[in-house]
């Protein structure tokens, strides 16, 4: 499989197939990350789509490194700009998502409730901690890549991840 720089070079020459390869390889991860930033499915899809559109319009803006991290950065910036704009225009409305119908077995029901509590807790963390934890633990980026995506230092990323993990341990210390 061609590397990211080769694909973006092909894209700059008008090779539509290169964009298809890039989207196929990165779309799910970019949408997942955007969802963690926006906490809204439609906004996440819009942010991810905008990241791919920006790459398509200006493939030379990617100059090397991790294309996935570059796409995460663009999607995050789009999502945050949209969020800030919406917040200035209207009051933020929290969307409550009901957990799926629990299985009939008591343990499965208890596990589903615990998992939802963890998700809710993570969703309530400060954006920097939530994003750093999501990119590092769920998306598998290195701390250096997370720092690039978030526009901060590796030290700040390490601190955000440590802080998020500490909060999780303190809140859910009864889990075994």
4-89: in CATH 1.10.10.10: no
Fold: same for 4-89 and 106-171: no
Report yes or no: 174 and 117 within 8 Å, Cβ to Cβ: no
* Percent above pLDDT 90 for the chain: 50
Query: Is 1.10.10.10 the CATH classification of the domain at 106-171?
Result: yes
The pTM (predicted TM-score) of the whole model is 0.57
- Check residue 138 and give left, alpha or beta (phi > 0: left; psi -120 to 50: alpha): alpha
Q: What are the sequence ranges of the domains in the chain?
A: 4-89, 106-171
pLDDT of residue 149: 92
| Other beta carbons within 10 Å of 82 | 17
Provide the pLDDT confidence category of residue 94 given band limits of 50, 70 and 90. very low
Structure-token match 């341990």, residue found: 169
Tell me the CA distances in angstroms from 28 to 34, 48, 135, 141, one per residue in order: 10, 9, 13, 15
Asked whether residue 92 carries a pLDDT value surpassing 80, the answer given is no
Mean pLDDT of all residues belonging to the chain: 85
Angle at 54 between CA 93 and CA 82, to 5 degrees: 15
């Amino acid at each position: 499989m061609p590397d990211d720089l080769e694909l973006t070079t092909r894209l700059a020459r008008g090779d539509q197939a290169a964009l298809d390869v890039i989207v196929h390889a990165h779309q799910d991860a970019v949408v997942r990350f955007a969802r963690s930033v926006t906490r809204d499915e439609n906004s996440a899809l819009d942010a991810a789509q905008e990241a791919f559109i920006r790459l398509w319009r200006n493939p030379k803006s990617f100059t090397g490194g991790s294309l996935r991290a570059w796409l995460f950065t663009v999607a995050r910036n789009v999502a945050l700009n949209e969020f800030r704009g919406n917040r200035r225009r209207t009051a933020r409305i929290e969307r409550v998502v009901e957990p799926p119908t629990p299985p009939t077995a008591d343990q499965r029901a208890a596990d589903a409730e615990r998992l939802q509590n963890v998700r809710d807790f993570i969703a309530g963390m400060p954006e920097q901690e939530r994003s750093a934890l999501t990119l590092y633990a769920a998306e598998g980026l290195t701390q250096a890549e997370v720092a690039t995506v978030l526009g901060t230092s590796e030290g700040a990323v390490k601190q955000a991840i440590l802080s998020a993990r500490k909060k999780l341990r303190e809140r859910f210390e009864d889990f075994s």
